[in-house]
Structure formats: C-alpha cells, structure tokens
Amino acid sequence: MNNSNRRKFLKNTSALSGLFFLPSMSNEIKASIISKPNPIAVAPNRIKFAVININHPHIYGMTDAIKRGGGELVALYAKEPDLVAAFLKTYPEAKLAKDEKEILEDKSIHLVLSSGIPDERAPLGIRVMQHGKDYLSDKPGIITLEQLAEVKKVQQETKRIYSIMFSERFENKGTEKASQLVKAGAIGNVIQTVNLAPHRIANGIGKTGLAVRPDWFWDKKRYGGILTDIGSHQFDQYLHFTGSTEAEVLMSQVGNVHHPETPLFEDFGDVMLRGNGGAGYIRVDWFTPDGLDTWGDGRLTILGTEGFIEVRKNTNIASGLKGGNHLYMSNKTEMVHIDCNNETLPFGPLLVDDILNRTETAMNQKHCFLATELALKAQKNAKPLILNK
C-alpha cells in the first residue's frame, strides 16, 4: 500500500477502532485492540458513601464513579447553600447532614468523598480515617510534605484507604485503553512518558468546569502550587506507565509569567523525572486558548522499546476527528488509531471492591503516596521561571 492510499485507509477506518494489524501481532495485543469492552456488572448498594465539602465540581465525576461501582450515596454536608442546592438537584437521594460530625459518626457509612478547598482535604481525610472510614479526595489530596507525613502516619495506624481521584487516568477512556495495551506488551518495555496538561482558567465546560474561579484558586497557600495541583495527575501517570516504585525529581521549575495581577498564582510548570522503571517529562500550564473546543489539549506519549502510544485525551485538532479519547499506536507490526469512547472505566468498581475486601486493586497505597510525594518535592524545590518580555 503506497503512502497516499495508506493515509486514505487510516482516515476511513480509524473510527472503527483501528482494525488493521499484521497477522504476526500477538493474540493478547490483538485482543486489547479489537475487543469490545463490556460494562462492569456490579450489584447496587454494595457500600454506603457520603460527601463532605464540594468546592470543586470534580465531585460530580467522583460521585458517579462510586455509584458505577455499586455505591449508595446517602449523605452530604457542605457550608455553601448554592453548591448544596446544585448537588442535591443532581443527586436528590443524598440526605443533607446538619454538620460534618453527623456523617463521621454514622457507622453505616463506609466511604467519604471530598472536593473541598485543597488545603482542607488532608485534615478532613485524617478525621475520616480516625472515624474508621475510607476516604477519596479530589486532587490534590495533600498539598504539603507536612500534611503527607501526618496522613501516612494515620493511615498506618488505622489501616484505612486514603485514595486520590487522579481523574486524568481513572476517568479518561483513552488513558485506560493505553493501560491495557501497555500491560499486553504492545510497545515492549516502557522507557519514558511525556505528559502535556494545559488547562483553561475560565472553564465553564460541563460539570467539571468553573467559569469563575474562587479566591482560593489564586492563592498558592490554598491550592499548593501548579505542580502540586494539576501536576499531581501526571506524576500518577508517570509511575503507573513506567512501573516505577522509586523515583526522583531531576529538575522542576514554576512561574507566573502572564498573571501579574495575581502574584500568588502559578501559570506554568515543568518537571523531569527518573525512576527505576523509566524516565518522565511533565508540563502543566493555564494557557488553553479560548478558540480550543475543550478545557485543554491533554496529551500522553508513552515510549516503549518496540513502539509508542499517544493519547489525545480531549481533542485532536490535527486529524479532523471529533471529540477526545483518541489513541494512536505504532509498533513493530503496524500503526493503528483506536477510538476509545466506548471503553469501560474500572476505577469505581475496583475501589468499592477494595473497601469491601481490604485489597488494593484500584490503586495501591504506596503508589498514591509516592505520586503525591514526587509532586510535593518538585513543587517545593522548583526554580522560579522568569521571562523578561
């Protein structure tokens, strides 16, 4: 097939999940590419869970994930009447608690979710664990090394689950498909990951966006800094795809290069990593232009010894293909495009399993804490980026 015909073939068949590969491709890799994902069947009301504090709309995706896993939402507490009203409109089954204590002392509740102001998430998680419950925080789940030390101490004492919703992996179908392919050996051994994670400040897209940012968004003491905050997703993905259980930050820098009116804000950061499973590069920023059709052109590239994968998470302006969850792979045998929009997301069911069985199938605790520690160290030791323009 000549190059012109190949490009035409790719364009016409890409929406059909990239079903073009040579016979020499292993059956395991073929299955990872062509298998039609089946919904994860779970029994309803396997656990009871509650929500405390909802300052970021990520709580909606978190709640939906646990409900998909068989969780029964039973209670809500938050201080802001407007946020409470919006949440209860979406989830009318939740009973409004009079205070946090009412939820923490309810022995029938297994799990507490929170998307409170970032600096308040770890202290709440500690109280949750001390009351014998498991905890799922929005990212960043911890914003200082001091908080991390205390969380780890209480987690060891209580043996409860302290989990963080790294939604750019757990709630992204393209990234989930990449996990399956890497596990199947489709690109050999992973050498490096590259994560590009631009975000939009005025983001009114869907339930996860904030068209107007609250005061705490601009204060580094409240959100922890750009690498601690949105960078936390990328540290998780780096560890996951390289399989690193030990890692160090080689270089990190942060800056406020375009928002002088908010001096406690950071709008750019990047990091280089080295671990026992591979290398990594991360770039995060708040420079998504208004003309883009989504909140950020998030990209993940995974380099292996026998090929590479690129996930275009939210959009792909180069191909003309609409929407996100596009995965591109080339290896020793062929190159494919996979539309991942029908993938099943396993995090919610797996976390509920872990709560019931005291296992670590959704994300092990060491991984959660190491991803957090790397982000916090990168943030703490970052050199300032100053542009004289």
If you write DSSP's letter for every residue of 347-365 in order, what string do you get? HHHHHHHHHHHT--SS--H
* Cβ atoms of 284 and 198 closer than 8 Å: yes
Q: Identify the CATH number of the domain in which residue 294 sits.
A: 3.30.360.10
| Arithmetic mean of pLDDT over the chain | 91
Of 101, 134, 166, the position where a domain reaches its end is 166
Residue 251 lies in a domain: yes
One domain, residues 89 and 211: no
| pLDDT for 25 | 61
Query: Tokens 């949440």 belong to which residue?
Result: 87
pLDDT tens-digit readout, 100-113: 999 999 999 999 99
Give CA separation, 291 vs 136, 288, 294, in Å. Answer: 34, 8, 9
SS3 state of residue 152? helix
Query: CA-CA distance, 326 to 174, in Å (whole number)?
Result: 6
Structural domain including 175 reads 3-37+169-346
One domain, residues 14 and 75: no
| pLDDT for 174 | 98
Report strand pairing: 247-255 vs 279-285: unpaired
- In sign, the C-alpha dihedral spanning 91, 203, 174, 271 is negative
Query: CA-CA distance, 161 to 125, in Å (whole number)?
Result: 10
pLDDT tens-digit readout, 299-353: 999 999 999 999 999 999 888 777 999 999 999 999 999 999 999 999 999 999 9
Residue 323 lies in a domain: yes
Distance, C-alpha 173 to centroid of its chain: 11
One domain, residues 157 and 210: no
Residue 371 lies in a domain: no
One domain, residues 210 and 227: yes
* Cβ atoms of 283 and 266 closer than 8 Å: no
One domain, residues 32 and 81: no
One domain, residues 254 and 302: yes
- What confidence tier does 60 reach under pLDDT thresholds 50, 70, 90? very high
How many domains are contained in the chain? 2
One domain, residues 313 and 185: yes
**Tokens representing 308?**
């590479």
pLDDT tens-digit readout, 175-187: 999 999 999 999 9
| pLDDT for 35 | 55
263 pLDDT exceeds 90? yes
Q: What percent of the chain has pLDDT over 90?
A: 83
One domain, residues 206 and 146: no
Alpha-carbon Rg for the chain in angstroms = 21
Residue type, 260: P
Query: CA-CA distance, 368 to 383, in Å (whole number)?
Result: 25
SS3 state of residue 384? strand
One domain, residues 148 and 222: no
Residue 78 lies in a domain: yes
Helix (H) or strand (E) holding 127: helix 118-130
One domain, residues 153 and 58: yes
Residue 363 lies in a domain: no
Q: Identify the CATH number of the domain in which residue 98 sits.
A: 3.40.50.720
* Cβ atoms of 87 and 51 closer than 8 Å: yes
Of 131, 166, 201, the position where a domain reaches its end is 166
**Residues 6 or more apart in contact with residue 85 via CB below 8 angstroms:** none
**Tokens representing 370?**
């190491």
Angle at 234 between CA 231 and CA 240, to 5 degrees: 150
Of 107, 138, 166, the position where a domain reaches its end is 166
Q: Give the neighbor-by-neighbor strand order of the sheet with 134-138.
A: 95-96, 71-77, 47-52, 111-114, 134-138, 162-165
| pLDDT for 172 | 97
What is the rounded end-to-end Cα distance, in angstroms, of the chain? 50
Residue 358 lies in a domain: no
Q: How many residues does the chain have?
A: 389
pLDDT tens-digit readout, 126-157: 999 999 999 999 999 999 999 999 999 999 99
| pLDDT for 204 | 63
202 pLDDT exceeds 90? no
Q: What percent of the chain has pLDDT over 70?
A: 88
| pLDDT for 38 | 63
Query: CA-CA distance, 151 to 162, in Å (whole number)?
Result: 8
The candidate with the shortest Cα–Cα distance to 147, out of 164, 170, 168, 172, is 164
Residue 310 lies in a domain: yes
Residue 355 lies in a domain: no
One domain, residues 93 and 156: yes
| pLDDT for 265 | 97
One domain, residues 17 and 81: no
